Amino acid sequence: MKKIYCFLIIIIITAIASTSIGFADSGEENHWANDECIYLKEFITEMKPNILDQKDIAFPAEDLDILLKEIFNKEKLDTPITVDNWAKLIQIILKLPENDTDKLLEMYVFGLSNDNEIRREDAVGGLVKLLSIDYLDAQVDYNDFQKFKAAIKDTKDISEKQNGLICIAYKKGILDTTVDTEFRPKELLTNAEAISTLYHVVERYNIDAAGDKQPDWALEKINEFEISRSRELQIIKILRGFGEDLGFDQPVHIKSWYLIMEELISLKNPLAREYIKNYTFDLSDDDYIARENALISIMKLVPADPRDATAKELSDAEGHFKDFKDIKDTSKVSQAYTQGLVNGYPDHTFRPKEKITYGEAAIIMIRLLNKEALE
């Protein structure tokens, strides 16, 4: 409530002294982003002393004033924002890890730009990546995607790389105010859209003028923890349902495996969603999935940073499985073995080409969900 009062006071003061802000001139129709511009400019102005004290924000006071004049110039609100200004705005509002700020901005802002401008899908996708470091848990499920596709009519125009991230932004309510039924992914991000997006970020994550999240972040973490536990049970319920209906000794249909992996990725590594088809349907030669391909699917999609097996992991798995030479991707199977996901059959074979059954899949998932993370 206090924030709402502050917001109203800012608008009233601005309307009275419009020459100092430059958005509420009488006799002119206000821009659609007028109120958000007023709020965010006042917010950044209030942050100014703190900004100039931060070692990781490398521009002096006069540059900050120039930045504000460029971005909040009402004559330029509908022109594309420069990628330099987009990066500076993000750096001002989000508290990025001090030692990694330059690297993160290079990866998720400058590395996604074209010349000195950035498309809407790349700007929002990169922003979600940065927010996922400390502000949001990037979790979406099948229902979230269905709602997203039903509401936004041009999702087919969003690149596969950014689709999941834009869905997260939609779910979290941080898309700019222009987004109603279309996202316009390939258009360049304008100053007004950049302002609107970051306005929603400040409001959604209750960021104060010191750049810190407020206490209700703890409540959000509690809610997300409860959701994660319900999703773990959902994965097991799916496998139990298939097993009881079809038989736990029956092979897992590739569509069922896709559904299971979709739930698992939403829980463990949502940013891998864009690759799910590559490691489910693309690994199936028929309507089912082989045991070795099921493990490739897991070890490629679930770890936050997939890697190759160590020499010891390869040696341990080779010593355990008699048919190790028949395995296509010995690296991923070796990792799965040494991390306790699979043991093979009593005769010490792995039988990589056989189809994984619902019972085997259920045991793997239980073992995986009992682990804090895959290494």
| Three-class HEC string of 224-254 | HHHHHHHHHHHHHHHHHHHHHHHCCCCECEH
Residues 13 and 133 in one domain: yes
Residues 245 and 162 in one domain: no
Domain extent, residue 360, equals 221-369
pLDDT tens-digit profile, the chain (375 residues): 444 444 444 444 444 444 344 454 444 568 999 999 999 998 888 876 666 555 455 556 677 888 889 999 989 999 999 999 999 999 888 888 878 889 999 999 999 998 899 999 999 999 999 998 878 776 777 778 888 989 999 999 999 889 889 999 998 899 999 999 999 999 999 999 999 999 999 888 777 655 555 545 555 656 666 666 777 788 888 888 888 888 889 999 999 999 999 888 877 887 788 888 999 999 998 999 999 999 999 999 988 778 899 999 999 999 999 999 999 999 999 999 999 999 999 899 999 999 999 999 999 998 888 876 676
Residues 162 and 231 in one domain: no
Residues 192 and 252 in one domain: no
Residues 53 and 138 in one domain: yes
End position of a domain, from candidates 162, 178, 204 = 204
211 within domain boundaries: no
152 within domain boundaries: yes
213 within domain boundaries: no
Write the burial class of residue 31 (CB in 10 Å: 0-12 exposed, 13-18 middle, 19+ buried).
middle
Q: Residue 117 forms beta bridges with which residues?
A: 114
Residues 198 and 314 in one domain: no
375 within domain boundaries: no
**What are the backbone dihedrals phi and psi of residue 27, each rounded to the nearest 5 degrees, phi first?**
85, -5
216 within domain boundaries: no
- pLDDT score, position 143: 79
> How many domains, the chain?
2
Residues 235 and 151 in one domain: no
Among all chains, which residue has been given the structure tokens 């609107």?
196
Integer angstrom CA distances of residue 63 from 70, 83, 103, 104, 299: 10, 15, 22, 22, 47
Sign for the pseudo-dihedral over CA of 159, 161, 162, 168: positive
Among all chains, which residue has been given the structure tokens 């848990």?
137
- pLDDT score, position 122: 96
214 within domain boundaries: no
Extract long-range pairs of 282-285: CB within 8 Å, 24+ residues apart. Answer: 284/254, 284/257
d(CA 21, CA 14): 6
Contacts of 7 (CB under 8 A, 6+ apart): 39
Residues 225 and 106 in one domain: no
The answer to whether 352 touches 289, Cβ cutoff 8 Å, is no
Residues 64 and 167 in one domain: yes
Extract long-range pairs of 230-237: CB within 8 Å, 24+ residues apart. Answer: 231/139, 231/141, 231/263, 231/266, 231/267, 232/267, 232/369, 234/263, 235/260, 235/263, 235/264, 235/267, 235/365, 235/369, 236/362, 236/365, 236/366, 236/369
End-to-end CA distance of the chain: 44
- pLDDT score, position 116: 93
A 10 A CB-CB count for 111 gives 11
- pLDDT score, position 299: 93
Stated as kind and residue range, the H or E segment containing 285 is none
- pLDDT score, position 372: 63
- pLDDT score, position 10: 46
Residues 142 and 48 in one domain: yes
Question: What pTM, to 2 d.p., does this model score?
Answer: 0.56
End position of a domain, from candidates 146, 172, 204 = 204
- pLDDT score, position 4: 45
Residues 317 and 256 in one domain: yes
240 within domain boundaries: yes
Residues 248 and 194 in one domain: no
The answer to whether 45 touches 68, Cβ cutoff 8 Å, is yes
